[in-house]
Structure 1
Amino acid sequence: MDPIYRALIVCTNHTDYPTKPHKTGLWLSEATHFYDELAGRNLPYDIASPNGGPVPIDEKSIDRRDAINEKWYHDPTFRAKLESSIRIDDVNPASYQIIYFTGGHGTMWDFPNNPALQTITRQIYEKGGMVAAVCHGVSALLNVTLSDGSLLIDSKQLTGFSNMEEKLVRLDEEVPFLLEDLLRQKKAIYSKSLIPFLPYIEVDERLVTGQNPLSARKVGRKVLEEMYEK
C-alpha cells in the first residue's frame, strides 16, 4: 500500500503593487494545476498563508478557459481552504511531507523574509520531505537556512520566474527585486527555458522548482514521482 503523505500548499496574502492599479495575489493555476496532480493520488492537503484567512487571487489569473481552474475554484472543499487558509504560525511541520510554494507576484513581498516559513521549510526538508515551488513562489526559498547554517539553495539546481519574463509582463519596475538575479546572488545554480513562458522545471534531489505558471503541473507530477517511485 502507498504511504500516506500530506501536502502543505502555501499562498500569498499580498495584493498591492507600488504603482499599478490592478491587484496581485495568488496566480490561480499555480495552485489548481499542482493540486490536480495530487488529487489523482487522493493526497490530503492544507492551504496556508503568512497571515491566514482568505487568499487573494490575481484577477488576471482567473481564466475561464482553464478547465482545471474552473474545476477546483468551484470545488467546495478547495475553495473553502482558499478562503480560510491556515496561518503559517499555526502550522505543525511534522504533519507534512511536502511543502509547495505557489506563485503570483504577491509572494515577492511576503515570502522571502518570513521566519516561520523558513523554519517550516527547513524542518520538512531535513526530515526527508519534498520542497517544491513555482514561479515567484521560489522567492520563499531565498533565505531558508539549514541546521548547519548553509542556505538551502546554495549550489542547488533550480529555476524560477526569469528576468526576461518579468520584463515581458512589464512588472520588472514594480517588484522589490528580480528573482533570477537574487537566486544567482545566493549561489543557486539557476537555469531557465530558452523560450519564455514555456513549462520548465529543475529537480535537485528533494527540491523541485518550476519557472512559470505553465510549469505548475509538471512540478506536481515530479513531486509525486519522487515521493512514490524512488
Structure 2
Amino acid sequence: MPSVLFVLTGADHWTLNDGTTHPTGFWAEELAAPHRVFSQAGFYISVATPGGVTPTVDEASLAAEANGGQEQADAIASYLASIDETLKIPARLEDTVATSYDVVFYPGGHGPMEDLAVSEVSGRLLTTALDSGTHVAVLCHAPAALLPARREDGSWAFAGYRMTGFSNAEETQAGLASKAPWLLEDRLVALGADYAAAEPWATHTVHDRNLHTGQNPASSEQLAREIVAAL
C-alpha cells in the first residue's frame, strides 16, 4: 500500500511587515481535496505538524466565496470533519522519517509562511525526501517550506528545479502583497528556482523529477491525481 505524509503548518497567524498578525492556518481545500484523492486511491495517510500541535484551519478558506459557492464550502467542511480525529492528534514532525513514505505532501495557506518557512526540521526532512526519491509535493504557499532545505555546504537543495507556487499577482489580488514581509515568488526566484506561474487562480501544476508543485487552491485535486498517476 502506498503511503503519504501530510505536513501541516502549526501556525494560526502570519506576522505582517508592520508587526500585526493576520489570522490563518492551513487552507481547507488544499488538505481536503488531496486527502480525498489519496484516500480513494488506497493510500495509507499520516499527518504531522511541528511539535505535534493540532493544526488550525484558516476560517477564510471555509467561506462560500473561497470555494465557488456554499455547496462546495459545505462539502469541504464536511470532509475535514470526517478526518477530525486524525487532525486532532497529528504526529510530531520532529519524529517523522521522510523515507517511510512514498509521498510527502505540504498543503498551503499562509501558515507555512510563518513556521515552515524557517523550520530547519522541515528543511532537513524535505532534503532527505528529495535525495531519497520520495515524491515531494508543495501546494500554493507551501513552497515556503522549501526555503530552509539546505545541504551541509549551505546550498539550497531545490536550486534549478522547475516549480510553481502562489504568485505575486495572486498575492496582490488577494490584498496582502503590500502587507507581506516577503513574497513567495520572489524568494523562490532569488534562491535559484526555475519558477513559472499561469494566470492568477488558474489550475497549474509543475513536475520536475520527484518534486511536484501546484500554484493555488484550484490546483489541489489535479496535483494529487497527477502524483497518484506517477506512482
TM-score norm. by structure 2 comes to 0.89
Alpha-carbon distance between aligned partners in 2 of 1:143 and 1:21, rounded to the nearest angstrom:
22
CA distance in 2, matches of 1:68, 1:126: 37
Q: How far off its partner does 1:139 sit?
A: 0.6
1:40-119 to structure 2, matched below 5 A, reads 40-63=40-63, 64-66=70-72, 68-75=75-82, 78-119=83-124
1:218 corresponds to which of 205, 217, 222: 222
Deviates more, 1:6-15 or 1:66-75: 66-75
Aligned to 1:34: 34
Q: Does 1:180 align with 2:185?
A: yes
What does the per-residue CA deviation read over 1:43-97, in whole Å, with 9 as the maximum and x for residues that have no partner?
A: 011111113121101101114432651442121xx21121222121121223212
Partner SS state of residue 56, structure 1: coil
Structure 2 counterpart of 1:142: 147
AA of the residue aligned to 1:116:
V
In 1, the alpha carbon distance for the partners of 2:167 and 2:138 equals: 14
Give, in whole Å, the separation in 1 of the partners of 2:128 and 2:46.
Answer: 17
- Equivalent in the alignment of 1:189: 194
Structure 2 residue 208 is the aligned partner of structure 1 residue 204: yes
1:48 is matched by which residue type in structure 2? A
Point out where structure 2 has 5 or more consecutive residues left out of the alignment: 64-69
CA 1:18–1:120 in structure 2 vs 1: closer, same or farther (change >3 Å)? Answer: closer
| Conserved 8 A contact 2:48-2:93 | yes
Cα separation, 1, equivalents of 2:129 and 2:205 = 21
Are the counterparts in 2 of residues 36 and 68 from structure 1 also a CA contact under 8 Å?
Answer: no
Secondary structure of the structure 2 residue equivalent to 1:8: strand
Q: Tell me which amino acid in the other structure corresponds to 1:72.
A: Y
Identity %: 28
CA distance in 2 between partners of 1:95 and 1:84 (Å): 19
Distance in 2 separating the partners of 1:148 and 1:41? 39
Q: Distance in 2 between matches of 1:151 and 1:35?
A: 29
Contact 1:105 1:175 (C-alpha < 8 Å) held by counterparts: no
Stretches (4+) displaced over 6 A: none
2:22 pairs with 1:15: no
Q: Secondary structure at the match of 1:123?
A: helix
Equivalence for 1:133: 138
Larger relative helix fraction:
2
Contact 1:17 1:174 in 2 (8 A): no
Q: Which runs of 5+ in 1 are unaligned?
A: none
Looking at structure 2, the residues matched to 65 and 192 of structure 1 have their Cα atoms a distance apart, in angstroms, of: 29
In the other structure, the counterpart of 1:5 is 2
Distance in 1 (CA, whole Å) between partners of 2:22 and 2:146 is 26
